[in-house]
């Protein structure tokens, strides 16, 4: 199993300067490779990452664009991994773009990276990094102090150094054997989780977990700092005699106050993200550690974000990130993750008698069934999801272990040993039992990869 551990670097000023130059090198090489890719495509050629890399290696130490003021190749001061990996990343981006176009999805081709408008990062190969306690030994700069030791004991597959606000982070990808990747569960419950805006997660036990909503809490300060930064940009444009949009290729002078405001704004954005990420990690870890089956809805998050009245609140909770973390943590804790179909009416089904209340509106937070049961909309949905998880768990445990291939539609041996399988549950408007499942009890199951 591949896992990643992200650690903050306690770097010196010289080391931070090298990180910035290495990230700038990766950005410049990406832009060169993208321009060459587009030029060759316009000529009817078929560009390739390896060919572009060989072409670049022939000019990187001799072409004037890659020489400093003293006519020396400045790339020699940066480790080669920083300017070798962008070619592979570019080919992967083009392949993903073509695959999405062929699948009929909305797709965007790779674009050029602008300084200050993109993520600063560079790659380090696995054979060029090692760890000595609380230090990481990186090429060209030697030992860099870490905020904590690497927690994952396994084979290092690669690393990436990136900047977030005014801090640098090292993300290490580690390959763990299954016996080390597994974690011990502390409970064997079955829970349904209804994600929402008023409460981030409502459990089938009736517990409502409120989200911290860091964006909402910091909205006033975010607006103030954004206005301050915008005024300084406007003043820089006025000083340069520019009205309207900044012409292409023109760089405005950056004052110290503008840099200081930009750093303060970036720190605020990073704080918002850290609060949200910390909450999601604690929530998803708790759900997987305390339960042997967890059921959530397969929400259409991109479609929900199209509603501009709810988009900010939905994004502030982080629906997609909750699902993403549940998927990989379920593998580690051997937890069954059940994804109810997005058309499954979890809120409209009475958890007592199974009746379907078609007329339920979004604004109705409570409703009374014809059988007399009074329901809280979110708790009722979580109970129905719990029943789906119970049915999927019983179906999995009722089959012998040797029948995984027939159960999951895969070849024998393809099911991960760590478990944590994702079970999509189909809902059809036919005769159902009280749990809302199909009459024949058939589940469309597939292992998570």
pLDDT digits (tens, 9 = 90+) for 178-237: 888 999 999 999 999 999 988 999 999 999 999 999 999 999 999 999 999 999 999 999
Among 119, 123, 135, 121, which Cα is nearest to 9's? 135
CB atoms within 10 A of CB 436: 23
pLDDT digits (tens, 9 = 90+) for 408-442: 332 333 333 334 556 666 544 333 343 333 333 33
Q: Is the pLDDT of residue 292 over 60?
A: yes
pLDDT on residue 279: 96
Whether the Cβ atoms of residue 447 and residue 408 lie closer than 8 Å to each other: yes
Q: Which residues pair with 337 in a beta bridge?
A: 294, 422
Q: Is the pTM of this model over 0.75?
A: yes
**From 378, 401, 428, 433, the catalytic residue:** 378
pLDDT digits (tens, 9 = 90+) for 274-289: 999 999 999 999 999 9
- 207 among known catalytic residues: no
Mean pLDDT of all residues belonging to the chain? 86
H or E, element range at 41: helix 13-42
pLDDT digits (tens, 9 = 90+) for 119-130: 999 999 999 999
Relative to beta strand 189-195, strand 201-203 is antiparallel
Instruction: Output 125 or 369, whichever has higher pLDDT.
Output: 125
**From 81, 194, 261, 316, the catalytic residue:** 194
- 194 among known catalytic residues: yes
- 127 among known catalytic residues: no
Q: Quote the CA–CA distance of 391 and 403 in Å, as a whole number.
A: 18
Whether the Cβ atoms of residue 190 and residue 391 lie closer than 8 Å to each other: no
pLDDT on residue 224: 96
Q: Quote the CA–CA distance of 95 and 108 in Å, as a whole number.
A: 11
pLDDT on residue 248: 80
**From 81, 120, 261, 297, the catalytic residue:** 297
Q: Where are the beta strands (DSSP E) in 298-421?
A: 336-340, 366-368, 374-376
């Amino acid at each position: 199993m591949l896992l990643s551990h992200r650690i903050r670097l306690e770097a010196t000023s010289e080391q931070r300067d090298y990180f910035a130059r290495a990230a700038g090198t990766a950005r410049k090489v990406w832009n060169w490779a993208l321009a060459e890719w587009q030029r060759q495509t316009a000529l009817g050629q078929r560009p390739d990452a390896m060919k572009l890399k060989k072409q670049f290696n022939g000019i990187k130490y001799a072409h004037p664009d890659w020489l400093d003021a003293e006519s020396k190749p400045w790339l020699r001061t940066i480790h080669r991994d920083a300017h070798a990996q962008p070619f592979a990343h570019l080919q992967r981006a083009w392949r993903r773009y073509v695959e999405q176009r062929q699948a009929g999805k909305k797709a965007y081709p790779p674009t050029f990276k602008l300084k200050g408008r993109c993520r600063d990062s560079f790659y380090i190969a696995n054979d060029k990094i090692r760890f000595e306690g609380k230090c990481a030994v990186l090429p060209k700069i030697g030992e860099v102090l870490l905020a904590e030791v690497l927690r994952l004991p396994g084979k290092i597959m690669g690393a990436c150094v990136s900047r977030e606000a005014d801090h640098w982070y090292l993300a290490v990808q580690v390959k763990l054997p299954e016996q080390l990747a597994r974690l011990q569960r502390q409970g064997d419950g079955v829970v349904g989780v209804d994600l929402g805006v008023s409460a981030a997660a409502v459990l089938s036990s009736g517990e409502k977990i409120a989200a911290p909503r860091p964006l909402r809490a910091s909205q006033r300060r975010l607006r103030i700092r954004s206005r301050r930064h915008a005024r300084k940009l406007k003043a820089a444009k006025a000083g340069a005699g520019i009205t309207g949009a900044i012409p292409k290729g023109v760089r405005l002078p950056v004052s110290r106050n503008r840099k200081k405001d930009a750093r303060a704004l970036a720190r605020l954005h990073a704080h918002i993200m850290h609060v949200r990420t910390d909450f999601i990690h604690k929530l998803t870890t708790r759900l997987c550690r305390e339960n042997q089956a967890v059921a959530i809805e397969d929400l259409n998050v991109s479609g929900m974000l199209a509603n501009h009245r709810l988009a900010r609140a939905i994004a502030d909770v982080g629906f997609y990130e909750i699902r993403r973390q549940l998927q990989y943590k379920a593998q580690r804790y051997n937890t069954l993750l059940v994804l109810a179909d997005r058309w499954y009416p979890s809120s409209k089904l009475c958890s007592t008698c199974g009746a379907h209340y078609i007329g339920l509106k979004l604004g109705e937070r409570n409703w009374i069934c014809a059988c007399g049961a009074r329901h809280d909309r979110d708790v009722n949905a979580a109970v129905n999801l719990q029943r789906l998880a119970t049915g999927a768990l019983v179906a999995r445990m009722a089959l012998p272990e040797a029948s995984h291939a027939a159960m999951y539609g895969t070849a024998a041996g393809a099911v991960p040993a760590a478990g944590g399988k994702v079970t999509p549950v189909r809902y059809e408007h036919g005769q159902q039992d009280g749990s809302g499942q199909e009459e024949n009890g058939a589940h469309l199951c597939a292992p998570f990869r």
